[in-house]
Structures are given as C-alpha cells and as structure tokens.
Amino acid sequence: MAPRSSRSGARAVAARPAAGPSAGVRRPPSRSTDLALVAVFGALVCALAVAGAVPIGGPGVPVTLQTFGIVLCGAVLGPWRGALAAGLYLVLGLAGLPVFAGGASGLGVLAGPSAGFLLAYPVAALVTGLVARAVVRRGGRGLVPGLVVACALGGVGVVYAGGVPGMALGGGLSLRAAAVFCVRFLPGDVLKLVLAVLVTVPVHRAFPHLLGR
C-alpha cells in the first residue's frame, strides 16, 4: 500500500495545469498597443511632411517625404492600422494643424492640386498593408520582392491614381498634362520605395507577428 504522502503528491501534480503548450501561444496585440502604433506612425508622417518640401514648378505640388511615411504605415503596421495612421495624419491637417507640405493646413487644401494625393494616402496605406501582410505571412525568399510590389502598388499605383486626377482638377490641367507632370515625381518616389523596403524587411524579420491584423 502506497504511503498517503505519495498519493497526495500525485494528485497535486495531476491537478497542476500543464504549462508547456500555452507557453508558446502568441497573444494578439492589445488595443492600447494598436492605438500607440497608429499615433506614432501618424506623427511620423507629420514629421516627414514638414521636414522639407522641394518645389519643382508647375501647379504647385512639391516633392516631399510623405509617400515614404505612408508606405511605411502600411508595410509595417498592416492594412487597417496603416490606413488609420494615414487617416489620422489627414484629419490632423484638415483640422488646421500645419502638417501638410509647406506648412499648409485646413479644408482649403481640398481645392488645390495636391488634394488627390492627400485623399489617396489612407487607401495607399491600406493596399500596401494588404499585400505586405500576405507576403510576410508566406515568408521565404519572396519577402523582399513581395514588399517591393506592395510598396509600389500603394506608393505609386494608388497615390498616382488619386493624385493625377486631383492635380488636373485643382490645377486647371488636362488629365494628360497632369500625368506628364507627375512623371517628374517618379525618380524620387522610386528612391523612397526602396528606402521603405530597406526599413521594412529587418523590422518584419525581427518581429514576424507585427502584421497580425
């Protein structure tokens, strides 16, 4: 007959919850973390926008670092948090904070040639984030080229799809003339997209679950 102490010890071991399986469970990001990331990246876009604008003539749309910040929002945070960060930047500027290129602000910018670019930013971050999330989840050797495609679709495809008609409408140009003018932005935008990929790749390698939503 086994001693009473050994039987009670066996019951305690059996009743104790197993710690092994739950130790590796990844907890989803908290809402406070999401809000903090949205706020930080919204502030980053603000800082990049006011860091300096390079005028290139024409209808008054300068070269800025806004696109770099918008692409980072989507590629690093994912579609929904990225779009919220870009939307936060847009709302702050429309509310009167001088965070648009050249210190512009207020609803009056919606009547100008840069309105299409600004309104396209949240959609650009969303599209970039959707593609980036799929690429990061797949992993493997396709990470870098996949992120290049994600940043190009959002940072060039979506932004220009909104920016060119907006420039034509707000700048008094034909659609063709606005498209020809926007070709001047392409070299700088390509450099910004390459920089965004160079920043994003090590981030996702270090934090592979950052694009969880």
Set out the domains of the chain in order of their start, with CATH numbers.
Answer: 30-206 (1.10.1760.20)
Ranges in the chain, pLDDT < 50: 2, 5-6, 9-10, 12-15, 17-26
Amino acid 41: pLDDT: 96
Identify whether the C-beta of residue 149 lies closer than 8 Å to the C-beta of residue 196.
Answer: no
pLDDT of res. 212: 62
Q: Which pLDDT belongs to residue 139?
A: 80
Residue 78: partners with Cβ closer than 8 Å, 6 or more residues away = 129, 132, 133, 210, 211, 212, 213
What is the structure's pLDDT at 147?
95
Could you give the dihedral angle defined by the CA atoms of residues 123, 127, 128 and 132, in that order, rounded to the nearest 10 degrees?
150
